[in-house]
Chain A
């Protein structure tokens, strides 16, 4: 098999929550660490779409930023098409990938026109003006925005229009690998369908690979080949999409799927218990404080990822 396009081994990112003040220094107290990503090993094959779902604040964006070389890992390794990402080569690697950021408001330069925002990656790669114009027209109509947008500024756009500008920018240079962080959260169902069809088309025609971070399970179902569930900084379940969604193994994935609102059920039952602290992580399995199947072992021992059929899951039930 070919080298995976992206591979991480034991990836970690710990943030310091707050600055260390004078008192802290005198008493040699470190400010607390937020363990945003804690030992994540995943692979994305060429042409594959990995869906990343999980609790809000569990580290999905941080993982995406680490893989996009926008954040330096505290520990662990990242390989891009087999090449280890290092201090020396991250600039060259960054040119081969794109990231669509979760907040379309922050990520677009407010002073630039939509046209220069979208075509900027091409400018960096040395494309001519004519080529940039042609590509601009193509990607804009692909995301359902007309040419009138060229000279507008981000602040004159609606939320969903900005989000589509960000998607257009990410595909304009055909980068082969894109991390998309909630790429359709501000789109109505019809425009969302259009954008998802576009992404799948690019994968089919040009072998693009994606990591798609989403809270929308229906989006994850449609776009992903495999789904990874994250909880409190770790991947707790990883497997082929239909298996994970039809027969979720990890109790957190089960709880997540039960909370999806549908037109038939007006009120869903969210999981009980406190959401986990990333500063004082629960001992043992991180989900044990909320797990309906909790056993003694779960409170003290952290389960490793194990293969259960075609799915990998970190849970003592298996």
Chain B
């Protein structure tokens, strides 16, 4: 049996993941640590291509076939899923951990109507809990969930195919399916990127409700730092396959420690083009096949020191933050 922290729904320790490709090995995650307590909501932000989706997919063991767990441990609800068979993990998906993919059509089947797919989700939830399925009740539950996510014409939408829906409607169908499953852990990868801010506010409220009522944990991957801050207790910042910083949400937005986190927050647009260009971090994003030696951010870091290009920094704890940077020891 695994020794584990019973308070944690997810416990990732020193996890490294590599994609094998014809053009070389791409190290998408490098010694990542992440612990998520039951009932806790954690937002992951960071550079595009830094491994956020890879981390989410690793937790539910749905990585692409060319991905390999190369190092570390990954406990989901107390079980090391790198050691479980696919069949065993599939039993954990849905009711233990439900993932909303960044590409919603990855969750939905393009050739099946929405109602068929939502009923399948309800059926599998009931089966996992050993309860009986009643078609009429399930249909009503599905409609109600669609209305909860503010879907107009729910009776019509539920009878359509995914291609007959708008981007935000597809996203809401997937969110509704996640809410139907009432999982212990919801991993939501950019779930509101196609929603207008009014619907987004509603969806965030629903997630908070589930978090409070059922003690659901949330991993919320997003590019929108405002949204991340509003939904999460803690925020994790990723850069080039590594966790640069993990802090309480309020601390991160007010007093980010890692130079990458600081630069990221400084890039949030607030102006109009008449006032000049937007801030972007100078230099180019790292080549993930041969990443920079030492700290992966050092070629773009305004505070770079000698040591930064030689050795990879370890994670240190400063006040309430965990930060991977030589500025802090």
The answer to whether residues A152 and B229 also contact, given A17-B160, A161-B49, A223-B273 and a CB cut-off of 8 A, is no
The answer to whether residues A266 and B229 also contact, given A215-B196, A256-B196 and a CB cut-off of 8 A, is yes
The answer to whether residues A187 and B223 also contact, given A15-B164, A158-B53, A182-B194 and a CB cut-off of 8 A, is yes
Query: Would you give the shortest CB distance from B192 to chain A, in whole angstroms?
Result: 8
Q: How far is the CA of A277 from the CA of B151 in the complex (A)?
A: 9
Q: Is the CB of A263 within 8 A of B229?
A: yes
Contacts of A41 in B (CB 8 A): none
Q: How far is the CA of A96 from the CA of B218 in the complex (A)?
A: 45
Q: How far is the CA of A157 from the CA of B103 in the complex (A)?
A: 12
B270 on interface, CB distance cutoff 8 Å: yes
Q: Is the CB of B278 within 8 A of A196?
A: yes
Which stretch, B35-43, B77-85, B281-289, touches the partner chain A? B281-289
Q: Is the CB of B287 within 8 A of A146?
A: yes
B106 on interface, CB distance cutoff 8 Å: yes
Q: How far is the CA of A136 from the CA of B164 in the complex (A)?
A: 34
Query: Would you give the shortest CB distance from A195 to chain B, in whole angstroms?
Result: 9
Contacts of A261 in B (CB 8 A): 197, 200-201, 224, 226-227, 229-230
Contacts of A294 in B (CB 8 A): none
Q: How far is the CA of A200 from the CA of B165 in the complex (A)?
A: 31
Q: Which of B49, B159, B224 contacts A158 (CB 8 A)?
A: B49
* Interface residues in B38-89 (C-beta closer than 8 Å to A): 45-49, 53, 64, 66
Contacts of A145 in B (CB 8 A): 285
Number of interface residues of A (CB under 8 A): 74
B132 on interface, CB distance cutoff 8 Å: no
Contacts of A159 in B (CB 8 A): 48, 53, 102-103, 190
B301 on interface, CB distance cutoff 8 Å: no
Q: Is the CB of A256 within 8 A of B264?
A: no
Q: How far is the CA of A137 from the CA of B110 in the complex (A)?
A: 35
Contacts of A148 in B (CB 8 A): 23, 287, 289
Which stretch, B135-143, B166-174, B302-310, B321-329, touches the partner chain A? B166-174
Contacts of B317 in A (CB 8 A): none
Q: How far is the CA of A269 from the CA of B202 in the complex (A)?
A: 9
A316 on interface, CB distance cutoff 8 Å: no
Q: Is the CB of B159 within 8 A of A160?
A: no
Choose among A54, A196, A222, A271 the residue with the greatest number of B CB atoms under 10 Å from its CB. Answer: A222
Dominant secondary structure of chain A at its interface with chain B: loop
Q: Is the CB of A219 within 8 A of B269?
A: yes
Q: How far is the CA of A144 from the CA of B286 in the complex (A)?
A: 10
Proximity bits, A233-267, B CB within 8 Å = 1, else 0 = 00000000110000000000001100111110011
Contacts of B156 in A (CB 8 A): 17-18, 32, 34, 279
B19 on interface, CB distance cutoff 8 Å: yes
A217 on interface, CB distance cutoff 8 Å: yes
Q: How far is the CA of A132 from the CA of B153 in the complex (A)?
A: 47
Q: How far is the CA of A194 from the CA of B197 in the complex (A)?
A: 23
Q: Is the CB of B46 within 8 A of A182?
A: no
A296 on interface, CB distance cutoff 8 Å: no
Query: Would you give the shortest CB distance from A69 to chain B, in whole angstroms?
Result: 19
Contacts of A275 in B (CB 8 A): 150-152, 199
Q: Is the CB of A185 within 8 A of B201?
A: no
Contacts of A262 in B (CB 8 A): 226
B253 on interface, CB distance cutoff 8 Å: yes
A43 on interface, CB distance cutoff 8 Å: no
Q: Is the CB of A191 within 8 A of B47?
A: yes
Q: How far is the CA of A32 from the CA of B159 in the complex (A)?
A: 12
In chain A, what residue has the closest Cβ to B268? A189
Q: Is the CB of A182 within 8 A of B167?
A: yes
In chain A, what residue has the closest Cβ to B288? A148
The answer to whether residues A186 and B272 also contact, given A270-B202, A271-B198 and a CB cut-off of 8 A, is no
The answer to whether residues A263 and B48 also contact, given A56-B195, A182-B167, A255-B198 and a CB cut-off of 8 A, is no
Choose among A61, A103, A256 the residue with the greatest number of B CB atoms under 10 Å from its CB. Answer: A103
Q: How far is the CA of A105 from the CA of B110 in the complex (A)?
A: 13
Q: Is the CB of B269 within 8 A of A187?
A: no
Query: Would you give the shortest CB distance from A316 to chain B, in whole angstroms?
Result: 22
Q: Is the CB of A61 within 8 A of B47?
A: no
Query: Would you give the shortest CB distance from A55 to chain B, in whole angstroms?
Result: 5
Query: Would you give the shortest CB distance from A109 to chain B, in whole angstroms?
Result: 15
Proximity bits, B184-227, A CB within 8 Å = 1, else 0 = 00000010011111111110010000000000000000011111
A81 on interface, CB distance cutoff 8 Å: no
Q: How far is the CA of A32 from the CA of B200 in the complex (A)?
A: 28
Q: Is the CB of B201 within 8 A of A259?
A: yes
Q: Is the CB of A56 within 8 A of B269?
A: no
Q: How far is the CA of A146 from the CA of B287 in the complex (A)?
A: 8
Q: Is the CB of B279 within 8 A of A193?
A: yes
Q: Is the CB of B48 within 8 A of A158?
A: yes
Proximity bits, A187-225, B CB within 8 Å = 1, else 0 = 111111110110010000000000000011111011100
* A and B contact pairs by CB, cutoff 8 A, 10 listed: A103-B103, A105-B103, A191-B47, A221-B272, A256-B198, A261-B201, A263-B229, A270-B198, A277-B152, A277-B153
Q: Can you add 4 more A-B contacts, CB < 8 Å, to A57-B168, A219-B269? A: A56-B195, A151-B22, A192-B267, A215-B195
Residues on A lying within 8 angstroms of B by beta carbon are 15, 17-18, 32, 34, 53-57, 61, 102-103, 105-106, 141, 144-146, 148, 151-152, 155-161, 164, 181-182, 185-194, 196-197, 200, 215-219, 221-223, 241-242, 255-256, 259-263, 266-271, 274-279
